[in-house]
Structure 1
C-alpha cells in the first residue's frame, strides 16, 4: 500500500502569535525508506549524524547546493505536497469566522460567498495595524486568542473592550459586531466548546485534500513520534474513522471527500525512517524560506531558489492577499460555510489548547 511520510514545523498549539515561529506547516512525501536512504546517500555521502536534519544541514553554506538538489529530486520524481501558513493571518481569519461572521449570518448575509471572509481577513492583516492602531490591533488579536482558549465571561468582556480600544470606526464592517454591538451571537460562537485556535486542523485539511488526489488508491501515513505530532496523529485518526459519505468544494483547486482513501496512520522513530527525514527536509526548507522572505530570519538556501522548485500543485500557502478580484475568482462557488459547519459538528471535539 502506498505510504506518505509526514513531518511538521512551527507548531505552537493554540498560540498563533508566537513571535519566534511565525509560520507553521507540514510536508507529505510518498517515498519508500529504501529510495529515501539511497537519495540521502547520493546527496550527502559524508553524513556522520544518526539522521538527516534540515536545521543542522542548512547552517552550513556548503550544504545548500546539496539541499536544493535533494529537494529537486524529490519534487521531480515523487508525489509531494507542502503546506505553509502565516499563523498571524490564520488567527485573523479565525477572528473573521467567529467574531464577525455570526453577526452577518443572523442578518441573512452569506459572509463566505466567493471568499469574502478571506478578503476581510487579508484587509485586516495588511491594513489593520495602520487603520486601527498597531498596539490596539495587537491587543485585539491577543484578547481574541485568549477568549477562544478560556471562554470565560471575563475573557469575552476583555475581548469586547479590546475591540472598542481600536479605531474600529475605520473598519466598522469588521470590528463593529464586537465594538459597537458586543454581538451575543459572536461571543457565543467564540465560547462554543471545541472551537480553538490550533492550526494543526487547518494544516491537515490541506495536506489531506492533496494526498487524496495524488493517491492511486487506499494509502497510509507515517510520521515521527514527536510531541507536536500527537495532535496531528489524533486528527488523522478521526478523519480515517469518519465514514459519512460527503464531498465539499473548498476552492478552485481543492475538494475534500469522505470516506477518505486514507486507511491507517502510524508513528515511527525518525532515526529509523529515512523517508520521514526527507519530509523534515521539505518542510524545514519551506518554513525557512518563508521566514527569510518575510525578513524575520536570514541564512539557509536562497528562498527564491527553494520555492522555484515547486509546481503549483505541490505547494499550498495561506498568506494574506489583497488581490481581491483574483481571490474572488479562486473561491467563487466554494462551500466554505458548509465546510465550516460540517467540520465543526463532526471534528471539533473539546480539548486543552
Structure 2
C-alpha cells in the first residue's frame, strides 16, 4: 500500500496574525524509507546530525546547492505535493465568510458562487492597509479573530468598534455588515465549532491532491510533534467519515468521501528518513514564501525553489486580484455547501 509521509510548518492554532509565522503549510511525499535514506546519503554524505532538518541546513550557504539538487530529485522522481497559505489572507477570507456573507445570504445573494468570497477577501486584504492604515486594518483582523475565539458580547463590541473606527465606507459593500453589527453575521461567528484554526484548510487541500494521485487505498505517516496533534485528529475524522459526497472546490480540485485514505500513523521523525524529506519540502516552501514577502533573507533563492514544482505539485492560498481569473478558476465551486457540511460533521 502506498504511504505518504507528511510534515507541516507554521502552525499557530487559532492565531493567524502571528508576526513570526506569516505562512502555514504542509508537504506530502510517497516514498519508502530506504529510498529516502539513499537520497539523503547521496546529497548529504557527510551529515553528522541524527536527523535531516531544513532549518538547520538552510542556515549554511554551503548547503544551498545540495538542498536544491535534493528538491529537484524529489519532485522529478516521486509523487508529492506542497501546500502553502498566507495566514493573514486566510483570516481575511474567514472574516468575509462569517462576518459578511450571512448578511448577503439573508437577502438572497450567494457570495460563494464562482468564488465571490475569495474576490472580496482579496480586495479587502490588498486595499485594506491603504484605505484604513496598517494599524486600523490590523485591529479589525485582531478583533475578528478574538470574536471567533471568545464569542462573547465584549468581543462583539470590539469587532464592531474596530470597523466603525476606520473609514469603512470606502469598502462599504464588505465592511457594512460588520460596522452595522449584523445579527446574522454574529450568529455565524458565535456558532459552536467555528474557529480560525487553519489545520483543516491545509489538510483538505493536501488530502484532495493525495486522493487524486492515488488510484488505490493509501495511508499517511507523520511526525509526533505537538503541532501535528491537530492534524492527526482531523485526519482520523476524515478517515472515519463514510457518507458518499463530493465537493468541487476549483476547476482542478475536488474532495470526495469516503476517502481512499485508510490509516494515519505517528512516527518518530528521527527514525523516518521519508518524513525528514517532507520536512525539507515544506521548509523550503515556507522559507521561499517568507523571503518573497520580505520577511526573511539568506535562504535558498525562492525563484529557484518555485521553478522546481510542476503545476500539480504546488498549491497555494493567496490573494488573487485578477477577479475575472478568480471567477473562472472557481466557477461552479460548492464552497458554501462544503463549509456547512464540514461544520456539521467534523467540528465539535
Shorter-chain TM-score category? over 0.9
Partner of 1:74: 74
1:171 aligns with 2:171: yes
Given that 1:244 and 1:259 are in contact with CA atoms closer than 8 Å, whether structure 2 keeps it comes out as: yes
TM-score (norm 2): 0.99
1:273 aligns with 2:272: yes
1:138 aligns with 2:131: no
Partner of 1:12: 12
Offset from partner CA, 1:71-126 (integer Å, 9 cap, x none): 11110110000000000000000000000000000001001111110001000111
Offset from partner CA, 1:288-332 (integer Å, 9 cap, x none): 000000100001111100000001110000011101111110001
Partner of 1:113: 113
Runs of 4+ in 1 over 4 A off after TM superposition: none
Given that 1:240 and 1:262 are in contact with CA atoms closer than 8 Å, whether structure 2 keeps it comes out as: yes
Offset from partner CA, 1:158-204 (integer Å, 9 cap, x none): 1111111111000011100011x210000010011100000111000
| Alignment partners' CA distance in 2, 1:9 and 1:164 | 35
Secondary structure of residue in 1 paired with 2:265: strand
| Alignment partners' CA distance in 2, 1:224 and 1:271 | 9
Partner of 1:96: 96
Partner of 1:241: 240
Cα distance, 1:337 vs. partner? 1.1
| Alignment partners' CA distance in 1, 2:152 and 2:249 | 32
| Alignment partners' CA distance in 1, 2:58 and 2:178 | 45
Given that 1:29 and 1:279 are in contact with CA atoms closer than 8 Å, whether structure 2 keeps it comes out as: yes
Partner of 1:159: 159
Q: Give structure 1 stretches of 5+ with no counterpart.
A: none
Partner of 1:52: 52
| Alignment partners' CA distance in 1, 2:303 and 2:134 | 30
Partner of 1:41: 41
| Alignment partners' CA distance in 2, 1:135 and 1:167 | 13
Given that 1:149 and 1:196 are in contact with CA atoms closer than 8 Å, whether structure 2 keeps it comes out as: yes
Cα distance, 1:133 vs. partner? 2.8
Secondary structure of residue in 2 paired with 1:8: strand
Secondary structure of residue in 2 paired with 1:348: coil
| Alignment partners' CA distance in 1, 2:66 and 2:134 | 42
Cα distance, 1:134 vs. partner? 2.4
Given that 1:133 and 1:167 are in contact with CA atoms closer than 8 Å, whether structure 2 keeps it comes out as: no
Offset from partner CA, 1:246-293 (integer Å, 9 cap, x none): 001000100000000000001000000000000000000000000000
| Alignment partners' CA distance in 1, 2:276 and 2:176 | 48
1:328 aligns with 2:327: yes
Cα distance, 1:347 vs. partner? 1.0
Matches for 1:236-315 after TM superposition, within 5 Å: 236-315=235-314
| Alignment partners' CA distance in 2, 1:68 and 1:222 | 24
| Alignment partners' CA distance in 2, 1:286 and 1:136 | 30
| Alignment partners' CA distance in 2, 1:132 and 1:52 | 44
Moved more, 43-52 or 130-139: 130-139
Cα distance, 1:7 vs. partner? 0.2
Partner of 2:227: 228
Given that 1:25 and 1:203 are in contact with CA atoms closer than 8 Å, whether structure 2 keeps it comes out as: yes
Given that 1:33 and 1:275 are in contact with CA atoms closer than 8 Å, whether structure 2 keeps it comes out as: yes
Cα distance, 1:132 vs. partner? 2.4
| Alignment partners' CA distance in 2, 1:216 and 1:317 | 24
User: RMSD of aligned C-alpha atoms?
Assistant: 0.6
Moved more, 320-329 or 228-237: 320-329
Partner of 1:65: 65
